A = this chain, B = another copy of it.
Amino acid sequence: MLGNFSYCNPTKLYFGKGSIKYLADELPKYGKNVVLIYGGGSIKKNGIYDETVKILRSCGKNVAEIAGVMPNPTLKKLHEGVQIARRAKADLLLAVGGGSVCDYAKAVAVSVHCEEDPWEKYYVRFEEPDCEILPVGCVLTMVGTGSEMNAGAVITNTDAKLKIGHVFKDERVMPRFSVLDPEYTFTLPRHQMTAGIFDIFSHICEQYFSGEDDNTSDYLAEALMRSLLHSSRIANANMTDYEARSNIMWTATWALNTLIACGKSTDWEVHMLGQAVGAHTDATHGMTLSAVSLAYYRHIMPYGLKKFVRFAENVWDVDPDGKTDEQTAEAGLAAMESWMRELGLAMNITQLGATADMIEAIADSTLIMQGGYRVLTRDEVVKILKESL
């Protein structure tokens, strides 16, 4: 059954070619001081920076900047951004970039008016903000994380070697608006597109492979997976196919904006394994997930057999006739493996730079989640990592 839950997702989304123009409708709702937040500067090459600044100027905004937000935004960078936003007396934080930039903006938003150290409050004690939360707007340039319509913000404390995500409960942490123009993602390199696609797929799997009930959330998860599979193949053949890229972008948003977790338990162990691999190899997030997924799912399959059979039939169109449940389930995972190879995803952690002598350390960094079909022992973590080599 659907367990009790609440749902609220007030982010206004402007979707499609040329949607940046709606920034001009949103900006008048906020005060004059905008802090523009971006990453390594690719938006200066592809024109998105100029387009954004032009609209900010035409709306009469004062613009301060936080540049150089890294793929894994650090606590040090957060402290720096808080100072900039305070000095600028920011009324709005405008994130232009991918999930990291958007995550970072949300972390700044809950920290500018926070009197404590944000790391202690939000990433150690996991408290909700009790101060004013600055509004965040987002112009998305990379697809995968879903950060454009959720209240999650991952921050890395490099001193403590900890990368921690806090999904805030307070919906005021979610972006007030997000501009989603699929064409803004066309200039990404192929491996970033495919890593993003697998990140989306993994988000869905993490929520799907948990629980025994027959609920609407799992049907919706299957729909998102089917749509993603279909569009990913088209985009892989033609990276500038607008239809495919737009469906992938939209799927990413709904894969991680809380909808498909409504009323059900979730797993997230693949993310724990992948993040541990990432901490020791600095590999791309989506690729760390693909490199451990098959070993993990084949390991837990016997404990969640019914769901794996359903996955095979409803997502991969496996015909169960004449097959045992185990064979149907394995045929589903085999179809998933074949799709992953087709996309050119990392199929093992060796490709990402992990070696056999790193396994114990990676296992030490792997958090054990409680919501999946099998709560792993440390030995099982080691086994899965070895099988992922």
Contact = CB atoms under 8 A, between A and B. Distances in A.
- A3, A220, A230: residue with the most chain B Cβ atoms closer than 10 Å: A220
B1 A242 contact: yes
A56 to B, nearest CB: 20
Contact of A15 (B5, B22, B171): B5
A219 B15 CA distance: 18
A272 interface: no
A213 B242 CA distance: 12
Contacts of A222: 223
Interface in A242-284: 242-243, 246-247, 250-251, 254, 262-263
A214 interface: yes
A7 B1 contact: no
Given A214-B230, A216-B224, A223-B220, A6 B1 contact: no
A10 interface: yes
Contact of A216 (B2, B214, B216, B250): B250
A10 to B, nearest CB: 4
A371 interface: no
B10 A6 contact: no
A388 to B, nearest CB: 30
Interface string A285-324: 0000000000000000000000000000000000000000
Nearest to A242: B1
A247 B15 contact: no
A247 B16 contact: no
Contact of A8 (B11, B214, B224, B250): B11
Interface string A166-187: 0000010000000000000000
Contacts of A213: 243
Interface string A195-225: 0000000000000000001111001101110
Given A2-B246, A3-B16, A15-B263, A216 B8 contact: no
A4 B7 CA distance: 25
Contact of A12 (B8, B230, B262): B8
A165 interface: no
13 contacts: A6-B13, A7-B13, A8-B10, A15-B262, A16-B263, A213-B243, A214-B230, A215-B227, A216-B247, A216-B254, A219-B226, A220-B227, A223-B223
What 9 pairs across the A-B complex have the smallest Cβ distances? Answer: A4-B16, A223-B223, A10-B10, A1-B243, A8-B12, A219-B223, A219-B227, A216-B227, A2-B246
Given A219-B227, A223-B223, 6 more contacts: A4-B19, A6-B14, A9-B10, A214-B247, A216-B227, A219-B224
